[in-house]
Structure 1
Amino acid sequence: MEEPFVHKIIKQGKIIESKMYLSKKGFIEKSEPLKKSDLDKAISAFPIKHYSNPYNETLFSERVGEKKENFSILEMDEFSVFIGDIYQVGEATIQVSQPGIVTREEVENGYRTGWYFRVINEGTIQPESDLILQERPYSQFSIAACSEIMYINRDDLWAADELFQCEALGLTWRKALRKRLRGY
């Protein structure tokens, strides 16, 4: 397998062609103070291979950014990315925090959710940069496995509790799992 790779960087619908500084806020464009749960979603990522739908006439390279992602990624997907994974990209360090926001239909159609990163260390990044895996602390929680626990196997409280205990999981997901575990 090739090294994971940030193919395109997209900010506010525009493809970034040069270096940019990645702060803790990532691509969040809010003027009001940020909450911790916002920082868990500083960068949205989506695998570029999901755009290669044979039923769509548009070339996948022209569709990049349709899911409003910030990173269009090559050589990664929801089965090879895990909660808590820490990557070096350029001078910045980022960590996978939670699956992306999708409809139930998208989850049932192959777990094509994408995922979010939080920024651990700020730094300069640029398109066509390698994502170098530094650490994988939770190898049991792929993005696909998390989506299965959250959306498909909703009655499996043991799995929900295991995922809730994952300290790297984003706050939004932890709150949703806590409600489920408490019977709400």
Structure 2
Amino acid sequence: MNYEVFSINIGKSETIEEGLDSAIKKTPVTGKVYVSSTIIQGDEQADLKYHGGPDQVLCVYTYDHYKHWENELNRKVDIPSFGENLTVKGISEEEVCIGDIFELGETRLQVSLPRQPCRVLAKNMKHDKFAKMVSESGYTGFYFRVLKEGYIEPGQPLVLIERHPQEVSISDVNKLHYTNQKDVELLKKVIGVKELKASLRESFQKRYDEILKTSN
């Protein structure tokens, strides 16, 4: 399956407010850029505790969600506004699964975890409750790790080349974060996906163990 990449986006770190730096404000590139195992050329990540690293090299957000947010906020929302490196048409959290493998240009990419909305996003959108709104909507976006480095450029499609056999979607993981936190069967299913970012999988394992312990 092929998806149209509306834009490839990069940004530099800047001060959002006193004590808060972020590279959430990104602009589309017009030419070829290199994607390494840790970062896309020209991009920066201000808070390495919560952003960046080998499991969070590229942030992806769906072009189709922008209309929803324009309706919710009753105003124009510029693209990109979610700090995403890739704005992609037609892709969804319900469809994309942890461990799915895609190709874009010379790169090979693997879905690693959902994006978790934070206060930086709320500040960027100038709406104090926006992170909560995104969490509740399920329109979070997600991250890629890089299996093969290489150049990408505007106009290239994002191509799904391998669906993960366990088919645990981004939406499934979001449910464990926000709405079905004690769903034992879903926890068990998600924990079994080794391609999920290790720290997140470990936190779900801990929750699963605690639920079983209290139920006995």
Superposed CA RMSD in Å reads 2.4
**2:214 counterpart residue number:** none
CA distance in 2, matches of 1:56, 1:152: 26
**2:88 counterpart residue number:** 73
Q: 1:151 to 1:66 in 2, by over 3 A?
A: same
Answer whether contact 1:107 1:113 (CA < 8 A) is retained.
yes
Q: Look up the SS of the partner of 2:200 in the other structure.
A: helix
Matched residues, number: 176
Comparing 124-133 with 47-56, greater Cα deviation is found at 47-56
Answer whether contact 2:114 2:141 (CA < 8 A) is retained.
yes
Superposed, which structure 2 residues align to 1:36-47 within 5 Å? 38-47=53-62
Comparing 141-150 with 81-90, greater Cα deviation is found at 141-150
CA distance in 1, matches of 2:178, 2:187: 11
Answer whether contact 1:83 1:138 (CA < 8 A) is retained.
no
Answer whether contact 1:26 1:119 (CA < 8 A) is retained.
no
Comparing 69-78 with 129-138, greater Cα deviation is found at 129-138
Answer whether contact 2:2 2:160 (CA < 8 A) is retained.
no
**1:99 counterpart residue number:** 114
**1:108 counterpart residue number:** 136
Higher relative CO (CA 8 A, sep ≥ 6), structure 1 or 2? Answer: 1
Q: Which amino acid aligns with 1:82?
A: C
Q: Look up the SS of the partner of 1:45 in the other structure.
A: strand
Shift of 1:7: 1.2
Q: Which amino acid aligns with 1:40?
A: D
CA distance in 1, matches of 2:153, 2:3: 14
Q: Which string of whole-angstrom CA distances, capped at 9 and with x for unpartnered residues, describes residues 43-79 of structure 1? A: 0000011111335331x5xx11211111111110111
Q: Which amino acid aligns with 1:108?
A: E
Is 2:155 the partner of 1:128?
yes
Shift of 1:105: 3.4
Superposed, which structure 2 residues align to 1:4-153 within 5 Å? 4-12=3-11, 13-27=26-40, 29=44, 38-52=53-67, 53-54=70-71, 55-58=73-76, 60=77, 63-102=78-117, 103-109=131-137, 111-153=138-180
Rg larger in structure: 2
Structure 2: tracts of 5 or more residues without a match: 12-25, 118-130, 212-216
Comparing 69-78 with 152-161, greater Cα deviation is found at 152-161
> Hey, which bits of structure 1, 4+ residues long, moved more than 6 A?
none
